[in-house]
Amino acid sequence: MIYPHRDRTRGGYFSDLTLLSLCLVIGFSTVGCDRETKVDIATREKILLLGNGGEPKALDPHLVSAVGDANILRATFEGLVTFHPEDDTKNEPGVAERWEPNEDFSEWRFFLRNDARWSNGDPVTAHDFVYSYNRILHPEFAAPYSSMLYFLKNAEKFNKGEVADFEDVGVKAVSDFELVCTLESPTPFFPDVVKHTTWLPVHGPTLEKFGTMTSTFTDWQKPGNHVGNGAFRLTDWRINAYIKVRKNPHYWDTANVKLNGINFYPIDNTFTEEKAFRGDLLHYTYIVPSNLVPRYMAKKDPNLRIETYAGSYFYRCNIMQAPTDNVDFRRALAYSINQEKIVKFVTQGGQIPAYGFTPPSDAGYHPPDVIHYNPDKAREHLKKAGYKSGADVPEFTIIFNTLDSHKSVAVAIQDMWKKELGIDKVKIENQEWKVYQQTVLDMKYDIARAGWIGDYVDPTTFLGIWRTGDSNNNTGWGSPDYDRLLRESSLLSGTDERYAKLAEAESILLDELPVLPIYWYTRVYLIHADVKNWKPLLLDNHPYKHIDLQRHTDLQRDEEGTE
Amino acid sequence: METARYILSRFGQSAFALLCIITITFFLARLAPGGPFLDDKAVPEHLIEQMNRNYGFDKPLVVQYGYYLGRLLTGDLGPSLGNKGFTVNEVIAEGFPVSFMLGICGLIIALLIGVPVGVFAAAKRNTAVDYTLMTIAMLGICLPTFVIAPLLGEIFALKLGWFDVAMWEDSSAWFLAALTLGLYYSAYIARLTRGSMLDVLSQDFIRTAHAKGVAPLKVLFKHAFRGGITPVVAYLGPALAGLIGGSFVVETVFGLPGLGQHFIKAATNRDYWLINGTVTVFAVLILLMNFLVDVIQAWLDPRTKTK
C-alpha cells in the first residue's frame, strides 16, 4: 500500500529513538538556557499551529458538516463569496468578484474573476460550480448536508429523485465567468449562505481521475492527489496526528497571503490540547476545558479569549407525551431555570443567559426578550397545568450525551426544578453520543439537551428548524402560524420588515416553548501573542489569508502593560 | 509427534476462537443503537437510505456477514466510515506501528525496572526494603494510567522541559507514553518476579548451594534466577498484547496516532468496518501471543501438554 502523505523522513518512529537519546543529552545540557520552542520556530517559518478538536471525517467539502472540518476546508477551498476577517455579517469577494440580485432577491448573478486558479493551475470557472452543485445534490452521492442547497430552485426535488434532470435545478453557467442562481424564494442573505462549506467547488477532472462524480470512496482527497482552490493546498495528512497545508502558488491572491502554511492538529482530548499550548506546541487551541477557565480568568491570562458565538444551548421537550405535552408545564419549567446562575457557576465560560432562542446578532436581529428566571410565574403556570404541587408531577427524565459539562447543567436544573417547583421526580440520564442522537430522532425522550450552531448570519438558520416536520425539529411541535410567518418572511426583501416577521414567529416559539432556552454559546480558546489579525468572529470562520505570525517580543509585552 | 499434535490442536483452538470473536463483533456492532450516518445535524431519511444502499447496509445482516467473511479472507477489511477516503487497512497500517512501538518500549522499561526490583525484594525478603518496594509496586498497580500519564506530562514535559507534552511528529511525547505503560507493568513484573524467586529460593538445591558455601550473590543469579524468571517469560506474551491493546489512554493523553484511539473512536462513531478491523487485529495479536507462549512452554516443560 502506498501512503503518499506519510513523511518518512520526518515522522518516522524509529528515527525518533535516536532523536530521543540526542534530545536527552541536549535537553539536560540546555536546561536553563533560552531554547527556541516549537512555536517560536513555527512563527519564524510563518507556519500556524492550530489545535482543531477531533479528526475530520473527510476533507471533501461535500461530505462534512462539523465545525473542525470546515476550519480545514476554509484553507484549501474558496467559495464564490468568502469570509470577512473582522465581521461575519460582512462578505468578501472570493472566486466571484462581485454579485448582484434581481429586484426581489430570487435570482443572483455571480461574476467570477478570471484569474482564479485551482491548485494545479487550471482556471476556476462557473462550470466548476455547476458541476459541484450537481454532485452534492445528486441522490446517488447522498451528501449528508445537501439540504443547505435547497435554496436553489428544484434542488430539493432533484436531491429526492423527484426531478431527474439537473438542467431543471436553478443554477446555470451563462459563460465561463458568470453564474446565475435561481432560487425557490427571495433570499436577501443568499451571499451569506454560499459561504458555507457545502457551497464550495470541487475539481471535476480530479474526482473523475480517481472515481466518478458520485463515488464517496476514492483517493482524491489525499495529499498528492488533492486539488483545491484555496489560499493553501493540502500537503500532508496523517490520521489523528496532523493535517498540513502550505501556501498555494496558484491562488489568485497569493501575494497577499501572509502565512506559509498551517498545521492542523486533531486533538480530541481538551486537556491534552491545553497542555500542548502550555508546552509551546500550539499557537491556538480549539477550546479550553471549562473547569480550567476560572483559573485562566483568575490570573488574567492574556492568551485566554472569550467571545460571543452564534450558538444556542437549550433543552428539547417531547410535545407528544405527558407531562411535557402541557404548554403551561413547559412554561413552568422554563421560568424556573435560573440561567444567570448556570452561566456564572456551572458553565463559567462567559456564556450569555438566553432570553430567547436565536442569539442576538450584530446584523440587527434581536430575539423577543421573553425568558427570564421568575419562580412566582413558574409556580403559577404549574398550577395552571393542573398540578397542586410539584410532588404531583409524574416522573420524567432529562437525557444528555455523555459529557461532564452537560451533566453539571442537568444536575443544576434538576435542583432548580426541585427547589422552585417542588418537582422531586426528575431523573437525569447520560447516553453515549450516537445512542443519544438515535433517541432524540426516535423521540423516545421527555427532555433532551441540545445545541445549535448557526450556519450563516441570519435568524432563519436558527428559526428554520422549528418548522412543522423539519428534520431537525424532533420535538413533535408544529404551529401553522409559525410556519406561515416564516414563509411570509422569506417573501420580504427589506431586512427590517423581514426581521420583524421573524421576531413575531420567534415569539410564538417562546410562548409555546417546545424548547427551553438556557444560554448562548461563547467561544473560549487560547491564542498565542504571535498570531496577528485573529479577530473575534460571530461564526468563528476565520479566513486564514489575513492571519499573520510575528514574534511578539517581551518589549511589546511591556509596552502593552504600561498602556 | 505428540508435540506436533498438541501444537496443531492449540492452533485449531485459536482459529476457532478468532472466528467466534469476528462473528460476535460483527453482530454486536450492528445491534448497538444509532448508526454511522447519524450526524450533529439531522440527515434526511432519503439520504440515509441511499447511504445504506451505497455501503450495502440495506441487505439482510446475514448476507452482509457472508460478504464480510469473504472479503476478510482476501485481507480486505473494507472502507472506514468515520475517516472517509481511507480504508480500514490503511488506518490500521498507520496506527498499528505506533501502538506496537509504544508496547515494545513499555515492555522493555517494565522489564528493566520490574525484574531487578523483584529479585532484590526477594533477596531481602521480609525486610523493610522488601515491604517498601512491594508497597510502591502495589501503588503502581492501583494507580491507573490516566493518573500517571498526565502527572508525568506535567512534571517531565511542562515543569522540567525534558520532553514534549503531546503529539507525534518531531515530538518526544511518545517516550512519556511508553514510560507510563512501562511503570504500570513494571509493578506487576516486580511482584511476579519476587514471588517466583521466593519459590525457587526455598527449594532444596538452593539450600545445598548455600551449604556448599557458594557466595550468596552467585546463588541468587546463577542458581535461582533462571528458574525464577520463567513465569515472567510466560507473562511477556500476554503483557505485550495488553500493552499494545491497552495503549488507548496514553495515546489520548499524549495525542499519539495509535491504534488504541481508533479502537475506541470506531465504536463511538459506529464505524462498523473499523470496529471489526481493530478487534480482529487485537484478537489475532492476543491469540498469537498466547499460542506462542503455550508452544514455548510445551517445549520447555513437557508436562504442560497433558494439562
CB A183 within 8 A of CB A170: yes
Query: Residue A435 and residue B44: Cβ atoms within 8 Å?
Result: no
Using CA atoms, how far apart are residues B4 and B14, in angstroms rounded to an integer? 15
CB A214 within 8 A of CB A140: yes
Q: What pLDDT shows up at residue B16?
A: 95
Q: Which residues contact A262 (CB under 8 A, 6 or more apart)?
A: A47, A48, A49, A50, A75, A232, A244, A245, A544
Residue of chain B whose alpha carbon sits nearest to that of A160 = B46
Query: Residue B170 and residue A140: Cβ atoms within 8 Å?
Result: no
CB A387 within 8 A of CB A393: yes
CB A530 within 8 A of CB A39: yes
Question: What is the least distance, in Å, from the CA of B159 to any CA of chain A?
Answer: 9
The average confidence (pLDDT) of chain A is 89
User: Residue B34: which of A23, A275, A435 has the nearest Cβ?
Assistant: A435
Using CA atoms, how far apart are residues A136 and A155, in angstroms rounded to an integer? 10
Question: What is the least distance, in Å, from the CA of A7 to any CA of chain B?
Answer: 9
Q: Which residues contact A74 (CB under 8 A, 6 or more apart)?
A: A83, A197, A230, A541, A542, A543, A544
User: How many CB atoms sit inside 10 A of residue A136's CB?
Assistant: 25
Query: Residue A239 and residue B47: Cβ atoms within 8 Å?
Result: no
Query: Cell numbers 440527515 correspond to what residue?
Result: B43
Query: Residue A281 and residue B165: Cβ atoms within 8 Å?
Result: yes
Q: Is B46 on the interface with A (CB under 8 A)?
A: yes
Using CA atoms, how far apart are residues B106 and A223, in angstroms rounded to an integer? 33
Q: Is B83 on the interface with A (CB under 8 A)?
A: yes
Q: pLDDT grade, residue A190 (50/70/90)?
A: very high
Question: What is the least distance, in Å, from the CA of B282 to any CA of chain A?
Answer: 19
Query: Cell numbers 515530538 correspond to what residue?
Result: B171
Q: What tens digit of pLDDT does each residue of B224-243 get? A: 887 788 888 888 888 888 88
Query: Residue A16 and residue B86: Cβ atoms within 8 Å?
Result: no
Looking at residue A468, its amino acid is T
Is the pLDDT reported for residue A477 higher than 80? yes
The helix-helix angle for B272-300 and B225-245 (nearest 10°) equals: 170
Q: What pLDDT shows up at residue B1?
A: 65
Query: Residue A432 and residue B268: Cβ atoms within 8 Å?
Result: yes
Q: What pLDDT shows up at residue A268?
A: 87
Of A3, B233, A211, A390, whose CA–CA distance to A11 is shortest? A3
The domain ranges of chain B are 95-258
φ/ψ bin of B56: left (φ > 0), alpha (ψ from -120 to 50), beta (otherwise)? left
Of A15, A205, A204, A276, whose CA–CA distance to B256 is shortest? A276
Q: What pLDDT shows up at residue A247?
A: 96
Beta bridge partners of A152: A183
Window B:194-223, CB contacts with A under 8 Å: none
Using CA atoms, how far apart are residues A426 and A25, in angstroms rounded to an integer? 60
Q: pLDDT grade, residue A89 (50/70/90)?
A: confident
Q: What is the DSSP string of A262-330?
A: EEEE----HHHHHHHHHTT--SB-S---GGGHHHHHHTT-TTEEEEEEEEEEEEEE-TTSTTTT-HHHH
Name all contacts of A64-69 with Cβ < 8 Å and 24+ positions apart: A64/A145, A64/A197, A65/A144, A65/A145, A65/A197, A65/A198, A65/B39, A65/B40, A65/B41, A66/B40, A67/A453, A67/A540, A68/A266, A68/A286, A69/A197
This prediction has a pTM of 0.89
Q: What pLDDT shows up at residue A2?
A: 38
Query: Cell numbers 492501583 correspond to what residue?
Result: B142
Q: What pLDDT shows up at residue A223?
A: 94
CB A268 within 8 A of CB A53: yes
CB A407 within 8 A of CB A439: no
Using CA atoms, how far apart are residues A504 and A483, in angstroms rounded to an integer? 11
User: Residue B167: which of A142, A265, A471 has the nearest Cβ?
Assistant: A265
Is the pLDDT reported for residue A262 higher than 50? yes
Using CA atoms, how far apart are residues A439 and A316, in angstroms rounded to an integer? 12
What mean pLDDT comes out for the span A179-199?
Answer: 94
Window A:469-488, CB contacts with B under 8 Å: 471-472, 474
Rg (C-alpha) for chain A, rounded Å, is 25
Q: Is A225 on the interface with B (CB under 8 A)?
A: no
Q: Is B100 on the interface with A (CB under 8 A)?
A: no
Using CA atoms, how far apart are residues B224 and A282, in angstroms rounded to an integer? 52
Chain A neighbors of B252, CB-CB under 8 A: 268-269, 272
Using CA atoms, how far apart are residues A357 and A370, in angstroms rounded to an integer? 10
CB A223 within 8 A of CB A236: yes
Chain B neighbors of A435, CB-CB under 8 A: 32-34
Using CA atoms, how far apart are residues A38 and A33, in angstroms rounded to an integer? 15
How are beta strands A352-353 and A515-526 bridged, if at all? antiparallel
Q: pLDDT grade, residue B302 (50/70/90)?
A: low
Q: Cell for A42?
A: 513555527
Query: Residue A28 and residue B162: Cβ atoms within 8 Å?
Result: yes
Residue of chain B whose alpha carbon sits nearest to that of A263 = B169
Q: Is A239 on the interface with B (CB under 8 A)?
A: yes
Q: Cell for A7?
A: 513523511
Using CA atoms, how far apart are residues B189 and B109, in angstroms rounded to an integer? 11
Query: Residue A441 and residue B42: Cβ atoms within 8 Å?
Result: yes
Query: Residue A11 and residue B169: Cβ atoms within 8 Å?
Result: yes
Query: Residue B166 and residue A242: Cβ atoms within 8 Å?
Result: no
Q: What pLDDT shows up at residue A5?
A: 38
Query: Residue A217 and residue B41: Cβ atoms within 8 Å?
Result: no
CA–CA distances in Å: residue A336 to residues A313, A521, B307: 16, 20, 68
Chain B neighbors of A269, CB-CB under 8 A: 252-253, 255
What is the helix (H) or strand (E) element at residue A396, kind and residue range? strand A396-401
Query: Residue B169 and residue A66: Cβ atoms within 8 Å?
Result: no
Q: Which residues contact A545 (CB under 8 A, 6 or more apart)?
A: A231, A253, A256, A257, A258, A259
Q: Is A11 on the interface with B (CB under 8 A)?
A: yes
Q: Three-state SS string across chain B, please?
A: CHHHHHHHHHHHHHHHHHHHHHHHHHHHHHHCCCCCCCCCCCCCHHHHHHHHHHCCCCCCHHHHHHHHHHHHHCCCCCECCCCCCCEHHHHHHHHHHHHHHHHHHHHHHHHHHHHHHHHHHHHCCCCHHHHHHHHHHHHHHHCCHHHHHHHHHHHHHHHCCCCCCCCCCCCCHHHHHHHHHHHHHHHHHHHHHHHHHHHHHCCHHHHHHHHHCCCHHHHHHHHHHHHHHHHHHHHHHHHHHHHHHCCHHHHHHCCCCCHHHHHHHHHHHCCHHHHHHHHHHHHHHHHHHHHHHHHHHHHHCHHHHHC
Query: Cell numbers 438566553 correspond to what residue?
Result: A354
A527: DSSP letter: B
Query: Residue A279 and residue B165: Cβ atoms within 8 Å?
Result: yes
Q: Cell for B64?
A: 452482509
Q: pLDDT grade, residue A24 (50/70/90)?
A: very low
φ/ψ bin of A325: left (φ > 0), alpha (ψ from -120 to 50), beta (otherwise)? alpha
What mean pLDDT comes out for the span A477-502?
Answer: 91
Q: Which residues contact B28 (CB under 8 A, 6 or more apart)?
A: none
Query: Residue A471 and residue B82: Cβ atoms within 8 Å?
Result: no
What mean pLDDT comes out for the span A266-277?
Answer: 93
Q: Is A278 on the interface with B (CB under 8 A)?
A: yes
What mean pLDDT comes out for the span B159-182?
Answer: 91
Query: Residue A58 and residue B255: Cβ atoms within 8 Å?
Result: no
CB A510 within 8 A of CB A371: yes
Is the pLDDT reported for residue A1 higher than 70? no
Q: Is A224 on the interface with B (CB under 8 A)?
A: no
Is the pLDDT reported for residue A365 higher than 80? yes
User: Residue B44: which of A1, A10, A471 has the nearest Cβ?
Assistant: A471
CATH 3.90.660.10 corresponds to the domain B95-258: no
Beta bridge partners of A522: A308
Chain A neighbors of B257, CB-CB under 8 A: 238-241
Query: Residue B168 and residue A242: Cβ atoms within 8 Å?
Result: yes
Window A:295-354, CB contacts with B under 8 Å: none
Q: What tens digit of pLDDT does each residue of B203-229 get? A: 888 888 888 888 888 888 877 887 788
Q: pLDDT grade, residue A215 (50/70/90)?
A: confident
Q: Is B44 on the interface with A (CB under 8 A)?
A: yes
What mean pLDDT comes out for the span A285-313?
Answer: 92
What is the helix (H) or strand (E) element at residue A237, kind and residue range? strand A232-238
Window A:115-174, CB contacts with B under 8 Å: 139-140, 142-147, 159-161
Q: Cell for A49?
A: 499551529
Chain B neighbors of A60, CB-CB under 8 A: 84-85
User: Residue A269: which of B44, B174, B255 has the nearest Cβ?
Assistant: B255
Q: What percent of chain A has pLDDT over 70?
A: 92
Chain A neighbors of B269, CB-CB under 8 A: 434
Q: What tens digit of pLDDT does each residue of A121-162 get? A: 999 999 999 999 999 999 999 998 999 999 999 999 999 999
Q: What pLDDT shows up at residue A331?
A: 95
Query: Residue B257 and residue A241: Cβ atoms within 8 Å?
Result: yes
The helix-helix angle for B88-123 and B173-201 (nearest 10°) equals: 40
Q: What tens digit of pLDDT does each residue of A376-410 get? A: 999 999 999 999 888 999 999 999 998 888 999 99
Using CA atoms, how far apart are residues A403 and A269, in angstroms rounded to an integer? 12
User: Residue A144: which of B47, B79, B257 has the nearest Cβ?
Assistant: B47
Q: Is A31 on the interface with B (CB under 8 A)?
A: yes
A457: DSSP letter: S
Q: What pLDDT shows up at residue B305?
A: 55
Q: What pLDDT shows up at residue A29?
A: 43
Chain B neighbors of A218, CB-CB under 8 A: 85
Question: What is the least distance, in Å, from the CA of B106 to any CA of chain A?
Answer: 13
Query: Residue B35 and residue A438: Cβ atoms within 8 Å?
Result: yes
Q: Is A500 on the interface with B (CB under 8 A)?
A: no
CA–CA distances in Å: residue A85 to residues A51, A110, A404, A536: 20, 21, 34, 9
**A21 vs A285, more confident:** A285
Q: Is A355 on the interface with B (CB under 8 A)?
A: no
The average confidence (pLDDT) of chain B is 88
Picking from B47, B71, B250, B269 by the largest number of A CB atoms within 10 A of its own CB, the best residue to mutate is B47
